[in-house]
Structure 1
C-alpha cells in the first residue's frame, strides 16, 4: 500500500500534463512573440512585451470567456503553472551564466559598490515605501528589482513573498521604465564624469537594473566597457540568494506570530529553486556544461521568464493596477536615483574616477 504513490506517479504526471497543456501553449505562444520583439529591439527585451501582451490578453480573455466558464477553466491551470513553477525553473537555469572563478575575480572588485548600492536601495525602499504608502510586497519587489537585477530578481523573490500577479506586473513595468532611461542617460553621465571604459562598466553593471539595458548602455560606451559590465551584472545577480533567504525568514516570522526560528527551520525555508541556481552555477564552474548546451540554457532561461511573465500578465487583476496609482512609480524613480548616486560615490571613494 505504501508503494502506491510511486506506482501511480506516471499516471498523475500525465494527468497533470493534460491539465496544464492548454494554458502552457498560450504562454509559450506569447513568449515566442515577445522573444521576436526582444530580438528586434534588444533594449526592450522579451520580459516586458510578454507581460504587456499577457495583460492585454487578460482583458480580452475576461470579456470573451464571460459566458464560457469551462473554456476559461481549461486555460487557468497552465497559466498558473507558467506563472509559478516555470518562474522558479527559470531562476535555476540562470545559474548556467556564471562560473565561480569569474564570480570571485569580479566580485572582489565590485563587491563594495554592490553592497553599498544594495543597502541604500533596500533601506530606501523600506523608508520611502512606507512614507509614500506603497503596499509592502510591491515595495519589496520594486526594491529588489532596482537593487539587484530587474525582472530576474522580481521573478526570484515573488514566490518567496507570495506576491500577487498585479504587484509583479506593476514592479516589472516600473523597472522597465527606468531601464529605458538608463540606456539614454548613463553613457552621457559616463562622459560627463570622464570615466574610462572599465569604470563605466562597473557603474553600469551595478546601477542599471536589467541585463538587456546594461548591454545596451555599455555597448554605446564601447566594447571594453561592455565585457566588464555584463560580468559585474551577472555577479550582482547572486545577491538574489541572500536576499531571498532573508525574505523567507521574515515571511516565516510574520506568519509564525513571532515564534523562534531554529537553524533547522531556517534551512527548510531556503527555496528549492535557489539551491538549484547555486548547483547549476557550481557545475558550470567546472566546465561540465559545454559551450553549446550552456548557450541553449541561457536562452532557455530568458524564454522561461517570458513564459512566466506571460502567465502572470494573463492572471493580472487590472483594477488592482489602477488602485496602485502613481506612488509605486515614484518609489521606483527615487530608488533608481539613489542607487546611481550611491554607486558613483562608492566608486569615487574606493577606486577613484578613472
Structure 2
C-alpha cells in the first residue's frame, strides 16, 4: 500500500491508472491500512482541491460557478425527487435510500458523512450507501471521458456534465483532468458550487427529522476546502507575478489527486462490496444513469450551455 501510493506521485501515473491500481490492491492482497486510508483520503482531496485553485484565474472560476448555479439547484431537486421515488419503487429502506439520494445529488461520500448525524442511520446503512457511491465513482472515472469523446462534447460541455452527474469531487476532477485543462477549469468550480449545498440540505433534513420527533446529534461538517480553493485562485489572480508559482502548486496538487484516487480505489474492499445489497445498488445505478442521461441530453439539445 505505501509503495503503491508513493509510485502514484510519479508524473506519468494518471488518475485512471491510480484508481485501477488501488482497486487491484484492495481486491487481491487486501488493504491492511483501511482505517488510515479512510482518514487520509478526504484530507488529501481537500489539499488537492485547494492547490488546483492556485492554477486558475478567479474570474474564470467565478464565471463558471455562476453559470452552473441554476443547473445545480435544478439538478439537486430533481435528483432527490427521483431518488426517493426509486427507493420506494424498489423497496429500499427509507434511510438507506435517502443516503444514496443525497450522495448522488450533491457530492457522494462527503454529503453522506455530513447527514449521518442528522439521519442517524445504522452502521450497515451507511456502509451500503458509501459502497454504492465508491463503486459508481470508480466506473464514472473511466466511462465519462469515453462517452464524452464518443458524443463529441466540447471540453466546456464535458466539464459541466462531470460536475452535474458524477458523485464525488475526486472523480469529477479526475475525469475532467483526463479530458483536458479547459474541462478541469469548468468542472471544479461548478462541482464546488454543488458541494456548498451540503449545508442548507443538512439543516433542512435536521428540521424535518425534528418535526417527526427524531433526535439530531453531531455537528455539520463544513466544506472549508471550497474557501481555500477560492482563496488560492484569488491570490494568483490579484498578484500575476505569482502565476508561475501557482502553476507549480497546481501541478503538485494534480499529482496529489492521483494519490487520492489510489487511496479511494484501495478503500473499495471485498467487505465493502459485500455490504452493498442488490436493491440499494439498483436504486443507485438507476438514479445515476437517469441523472447522467438527463444532463447529457440537456447539453446535447442546447438547454445547458
Query: TM-score, normalising length from structure 1?
Result: 0.61
Give 1:127's aligned residue.
85
Give 2:276's aligned residue.
321
Give 1:275's aligned residue.
224
Deviations 1:185-233 (A, max 9, x none): 333333xxxx7x47645654545533333344x4xxxxxxx44322110
In the TM superposition, residue 278 of structure 1 has moved relative to its aligned partner by: 1.5
CA contact (8 A) 1:54 1:313 kept: yes
Give 2:287's aligned residue.
331
In 1, the alpha carbon distance for the partners of 2:27 and 2:127 equals 10
- Any residues of structure 2 matched to 1:16-35 within 5 Å, and which? 26=1, 28-32=2-6, 35=8
Deviations 1:130-158 (A, max 9, x none): 3223455665565566555xxxx324224
Give the alignment partner of residue 260 of structure 2, picking from 304, 307, 331: 304
Residues 1:285 and 2:285 aligned together: no
Give 2:297's aligned residue.
341
In 1, the alpha carbon distance for the partners of 2:83 and 2:189 equals 22
Give the alignment partner of residue 36 of structure 2, picking from 81, 88, 105: 81
Change (3 A) 1:256 1:246: same
Which structure has the bigger radius of gyration? 1
CA contact (8 A) 1:37 1:45 kept: no
Residues 1:53 and 2:25 aligned together: yes
Note the aligned Cα RMSD (angstroms): 4.1
Say which SS state the counterpart of residue 271 (structure 2) adopts. Answer: coil
Give the alignment partner of residue 154 of structure 1, picking from 108, 115, 126: 108
Structure with the greater relative contact order (CA < 8 A, sep ≥ 6): 1 or 2? Answer: 2
In the TM superposition, residue 234 of structure 1 has moved relative to its aligned partner by: 0.5
Give 2:186's aligned residue.
232
**Equivalent residue pairs, number:** 280
CA contact (8 A) 1:142 1:175 kept: no
In the TM superposition, residue 174 of structure 1 has moved relative to its aligned partner by: 2.1
Query: TM-score, normalising length from structure 2?
Result: 0.69
Give 1:183's aligned residue.
145
Change (3 A) 1:342 1:350: closer
Change (3 A) 1:317 1:40: closer
In the TM superposition, residue 271 of structure 1 has moved relative to its aligned partner by: 1.4
Deviates further, 231-240 or 133-142: 133-142
Give 1:249's aligned residue.
203
In 2, the alpha carbon distance for the partners of 1:52 and 1:164 equals 24
In 2, the alpha carbon distance for the partners of 1:200 and 1:145 equals 23
CA contact (8 A) 1:120 1:342 kept: no
In 2, the alpha carbon distance for the partners of 1:37 and 1:167 equals 33
Deviates further, 288-297 or 248-257: 248-257
Give 1:19's aligned residue.
none
Say which SS state the counterpart of residue 313 (structure 1) adopts. Answer: coil
Give 1:116's aligned residue.
74
Give 1:10's aligned residue.
none
CA contact (8 A) 1:103 1:235 kept: yes
Unaligned runs of 5+ in 2: 117-124, 167-171, 237-241
Larger fraction in helix:
1
Say which SS state the counterpart of residue 131 (structure 1) adopts. Answer: helix
Change (3 A) 1:56 1:338: farther
In the TM superposition, residue 257 of structure 1 has moved relative to its aligned partner by: 6.6
Give the alignment partner of residue 44 of structure 2, picking from 69, 81, 90: 90
CA contact (8 A) 1:145 1:154 kept: yes
In 2, the alpha carbon distance for the partners of 1:102 and 1:211 equals 16
In 2, the alpha carbon distance for the partners of 1:172 and 1:188 equals 25
